[in-house]
Structure 1
């Protein structure tokens, strides 16, 4: 086994798979988190290196506990798994859509992070990367020069869940700072994945976003924590 181990949730496809590939290329033993054992195994084989499938349904407490019990040491945790159920504004989305979205994008991050904290605490330089979204930025959503169209309240459940994830990032960073943790959030940009199937190939390459996540996973001890970065390393306003 390599000296460094990383876990990427939702790593059998999309940005998560590209993050896993790049961490494997950096010499990590990469645990490919996947709800489905077969898909996880296929992804691990395609990634190569020292990639290994780990059955992990982030929304299932028992699955999280069983996965954590198999990992003694963890250097990097990338909370990548996420869902976007619709582009509806809040009045059309309804409470059930918000509950389902927050279950995966927020509550499961708490479950997974807490379950793997003992393994992360055994690492000399533990790193946690939370894959968020630029659309979660309240500053970018409001102004004075909003990045997104004024009055556009679409994808309200997804965007608000990622705003909550940003808050969690800050709180974990504050709690764990004295233990040497670096906990940061990443805005990967619009990418051609299952969440954004219409993203253009020219502007939506997920490998580019993965580079941003890996950069945060490899932060030196004097690197930042409790911050929100774009895929290119530019700070994103909360």
Structure 2
């Protein structure tokens, strides 16, 4: 049976992906910074729970040790935890504001991936799915027909450009693990102020990759419609 860990899985897209993957027969663990909310979400879903703050080395390492002890392997890691950060114009933006966003969206992804690689290598067809965004696409942010071109979110958007490139570099450097990035698109969650398509639609790309098993590709960037331009 496939064992999957989803960071930031207590709400929004992570929660919906967890629900769908459990429905598909996977054993799902959700990681959340807030232990109380995380356990409540896990209980609702019928998932396992592990406290996991992606910005903290000790928390991430403890979560990896918990899964090593309880399960012994990991098949799919979904790096879903992310923050928007403080929205400010680029001319007023400070390095600390950017650093705050990168600490979760970029450095957190690196921290979690590194900690869980040994467990992934003990799994079957190990796969890492990184949640990126079309807001980090150079092509889409210059296309006036796309919603991505209507927002100026310098810290968040650039962090997602980094997520996509990190995914490609991992895929090139670590051929025994499949690495892919997926874009949920503008999804109606707390994160977007309830703007966009349904959370069910937003979770489709991640769920699709997470259920491909031996057919999982590596080094791809997709949304629910197909290949995402970059």
Output the TM-score relative to the length of structure 2.
0.92
For 1:149 and 1:219, locate their aligned partners in 2 and report how far apart those are by CA, in whole Å: 28
For 1:26 and 1:94, locate their aligned partners in 2 and report how far apart those are by CA, in whole Å: 44
Equivalent runs, 1:83-102 vs 2, <5 Å: 83-102=83-102
Q: Give the aligned partner of residue 236 of structure 1.
A: 228
**More displaced stretch, 152-161 vs 9-18:** 152-161
Residue 149 of structure 1 deviates from its aligned partner by 7.3
Alpha-carbon distance change, 153 to 19 in structure 1, aligned in 2, over 3 angstroms: closer
Output the TM-score relative to the length of structure 1.
0.89
For 2:91 and 2:44, locate their aligned partners in 1 and report how far apart those are by CA, in whole Å: 42
Q: Does the residue aligned with 1:70 lie in a helix, a strand or coil?
A: helix
Q: Give the aligned partner of residue 66 of structure 1.
A: 62
**More displaced stretch, 55-64 vs 81-90:** 81-90
Contact persistence 2:20–2:207 (CA under 8 A): yes
Q: Which runs of 5+ in 2 are unaligned?
A: none
Of the three residues 152, 160, 175, the one matched with 1:162 is 160
Residue 197 of structure 1 deviates from its aligned partner by 1.3
Q: Give the aligned partner of residue 209 of structure 2.
A: 216
Q: Across the two proteins, how many residue pairs are aligned to each other?
A: 226
CA-based RMSD: 1.7
For 1:109 and 1:149, locate their aligned partners in 2 and report how far apart those are by CA, in whole Å: 23
Alpha-carbon distance change, 110 to 97 in structure 1, aligned in 2, over 3 angstroms: same
For 1:223 and 1:31, locate their aligned partners in 2 and report how far apart those are by CA, in whole Å: 20
